[in-house]
């Protein structure tokens, strides 16, 4: 028999809240009430409370003792750190891919998806495909586990991107992705690194813009 191993209720609540925060359904600074959520999902406070603890560990919520729990604001510093880490790591991964010349059809497929999502104006689909594009590169480099680690760091970044991708030019992102893929297919490590760094540095201009537009969503 297949071990379905339904996760604990508290874990399920956490996963639900986690997605809500990343998708922007729960906005920075918003208040989270244990009793309120508990009533919504038909549970007692305890599992909800434990879900909040997990959420705080993710850096997505802030538990202020005896005061209340709030959705954390997007930390500019955290986004910049994650960005720097991504630039360094993905540069190395890109070089590995360029050297070993693996199959890159997965990345190409995501590129097509992005074009369609852009045309349809489906922002969530675009952002998710963007993620999978970079994940596919890590996979092609033979280090899928590294992408798992980056996912955690990227949490804060993703929240911003769900906002910024509504505003900024998505076709520019697609062009940058295409440049990366072309360099990788050509096996040109230097060009790949350059393209990757250029692409990820795009965020350095987007971030201050978003922080200016939505000052109450950001901190630091």
Q: Which residues bind DNA (CB under 7 A)?
A: 8-10, 32-36, 43-47, 49-50, 63-69
Minimum CB separation of residue 191 from DNA in Å reads 49
Smaller CB separation from DNA, 53 or 145: 53
- Pick one of 30, 88, 120, 186: the residue that binds a second copy (CB under 8 A): 88
Angle between helices 76-100 and 189-213 (to 10 degrees): 160
How many residues touch a second copy (CB under 8 A)? 32
Furthest C-alpha separation in the chain: 58
Which partner from the list DNA, a second copy, none does 212 bind, CB cut-off 5 to 8 Å by kind? none
CA distance 202 to 110: 20
Instruction: Give 60's DSSP letter.
Output: S
Which partner from the list a second copy, DNA, none does 178 bind, CB cut-off 5 to 8 Å by kind? none
CB 65 within 8 A of CB 52: no
Select from 62, 73, 52 the least CA-distant residue to 163. Answer: 73
Q: What is the 3-state secondary structure (H, E, C) of 5-36?
A: CCCCHHHHHHHHHHHHHHHCCCCCCCEECHHH
- Pick one of 26, 38, 60, 82: the residue that binds a second copy (CB under 8 A): 82
Minimum CB separation of residue 155 from DNA in Å reads 21
Minimum CB separation of residue 101 from a second copy in Å reads 20
Q: Is 194 exposed, middle or buried (0-12, 13-18, 19+ CB in 10 A)?
A: middle
Site residues, a second copy (CB under 8 A):
5, 7-8, 10, 46, 49-50, 53-54, 57-58, 65, 77-78, 80-82, 84-85, 87-89, 91-92, 143, 145-146, 148-150, 152-153
């Amino acid at each position: 028999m297949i071990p379905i191993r339904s996760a604990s209720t508290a874990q399920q609540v956490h996963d639900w809240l986690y997605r809500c925060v990343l998708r922007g359904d729960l906005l920075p600074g918003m208040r989270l009430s244990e009793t309120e959520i508990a009533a919504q999902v038909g549970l007692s406070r305890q599992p909800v409370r434990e879900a909040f603890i997990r959420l705080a560990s993710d850096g997505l919520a802030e538990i202020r003792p005896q005061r209340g729990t709030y959705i954390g604001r997007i930390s500019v510093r955290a986004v910049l750190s994650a960005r720097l880490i991504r630039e360094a790591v993905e540069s190395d991964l890109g070089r590995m891919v360029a050297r070993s010349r693996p199959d890159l059809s997965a990345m190409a497929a995501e590129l097509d998806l992005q074009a369609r999502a852009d045309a349809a104006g489906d922002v969530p689909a675009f952002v998710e495909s963007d993620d999978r594009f970079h994940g596919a590169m890590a996979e092609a480099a033979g280090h899928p586990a590294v992408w798992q680690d980056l996912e955690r760091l990227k949490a804060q970044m993703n929240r911003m991107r769900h906002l910024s991708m509504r505003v900024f030019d998505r076709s520019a992102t697609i062009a940058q992705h295409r440049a990366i893929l072309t360099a990788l297919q050509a096996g040109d490590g230097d060009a790949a690194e350059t393209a990757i760094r250029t692409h990820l540095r795009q965020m350095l201009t987007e971030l201050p813009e978003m922080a200016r537009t939505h000052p109450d969503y950001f901190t630091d």
